[in-house]
Structure 1
Amino acid sequence: MSLLTLKDVEFAWPNSAPFLNIASFEIAPGEHVFLKGPSGSGKSTLLGLISGVLSAQKGEISFDGQDLAKLSGGARDRVRATDMGVVFQLFNLLPYLSVMSNVTLPCKLSAARRNRVTNGGDDLETEARRLLERLGLTDEKLLNSPVTNLSVGQQQRVAAARALIGAPKLIIADEPTSALDTRARDAFLALLKEESEHAGSALLFVSHDDGLGDAFHRRVDLTQINTLAEVPA
């Protein structure tokens, strides 16, 4: 059984023609998928549909056996909070919270994610520290300071720890390495994959950098699955 299934999904912005039409796309539990697409191809829009932030005009998006279109907005929010971890392109950390508070936030919004941590014998802070240490953030003063005191690379790692905590069923990473040099990018990608495997989470990693695709179980070109895509000659 697939964790995520898209079937005949069509999306258009208000008063505009459809620009995204996907006949079929699936992700299996625990599968790591690399989604490639040029800028403006609809990658972020697709992620919005998958996470339930956006609603398609046609078709079915099923996540963990639930048709997202049949859920209320609040129910979709709960699915996202409980079973999805998102590394946003611009991180979307809360500037008025400390590093630790940002990382543990998903477990305070979702009892299920909190229970996945505590049922394993750890408290939230211990698990947050483990993830941050794995991602190279070990300075005690840094962990208790506002995220605004961190560099871009450090904020990215905090965003990854926040997405990973509580073992969500799907990790979505939207161009998370675009601001990193090659060495930092490769190290971050390796850690993200390792921690996803440790949690048993599926991983959907989105990038325009085709060179990263070999690190994943499968690569998908958005211009190939979107029947409305304008493919360069």
Structure 2
Amino acid sequence: MYLDTPTRRWTRRVITPVLAGVLGLLALFMSPWADSASAHGSIVDPPSRSYGCWERWGNDHLNPDMQQEDPMCWQAFQANPNTMWNWMSLFRENLAGNFQGAIPNGKLCSAGDAQGGLASSLDKPGPWTTQDVSTNFSLHLHDQASHGADYFLVYVTKQGFDPTTEALGWDDLELVQRTGSYAPAQDITFSASAPGRSGHHIIYTIWQASHLDQTYFICSDVNFT
């Protein structure tokens, strides 16, 4: 949970009052544990890029070790801390299923610069932290607002794509699963399979929420073993 730890209390004493106010507002309004009326969701296992950064560094975001241990999260945090805090809001509205028309190549992981362009750092190629998975894998959506799903589309990068040097484009992906609908729930788990993969890949999940035409676009970095 997003807790008021001794580290955070120390941080408030040493940073400027302006920054303290900004972080306080972020904690209140953009915390993943905020009122469900203002919360959304994401794939948390294997973690989306933004959720993974929050999970690993949310309570330790001023630790200089992040730059060396998790450089892609570090660059995202430097670009804008909101990319980490607001991990549940990579969505677009009223696309009517025209995903490729709305999300250009190279902008898939940020949902086409969702959040007013604050999340564009998620599109950068590099050594994103991966989670080991088998080619038969499951995905776990956490959605505090319990929107439900009309469907999920699960894509996986083709063998030979290199997430450390290439920005993700639609032609780099293969659709491996289209699910049916899911009733509103805070946690939904579903399965997919991506045979023939090994090494670092991106699982790209499109979640079409049920409550209105609201679509989430989610990159999860994995290592197929």
**TM-score, L = length of structure 1:** 0.26
Structure with a larger share of its residues in helix: 1
Considering Cα pairs closer than 8 Å and 6+ residues apart, tell me whether 1 or 2 has the greater RCO.
1
Q: Which structure: greater strand fraction?
A: 2
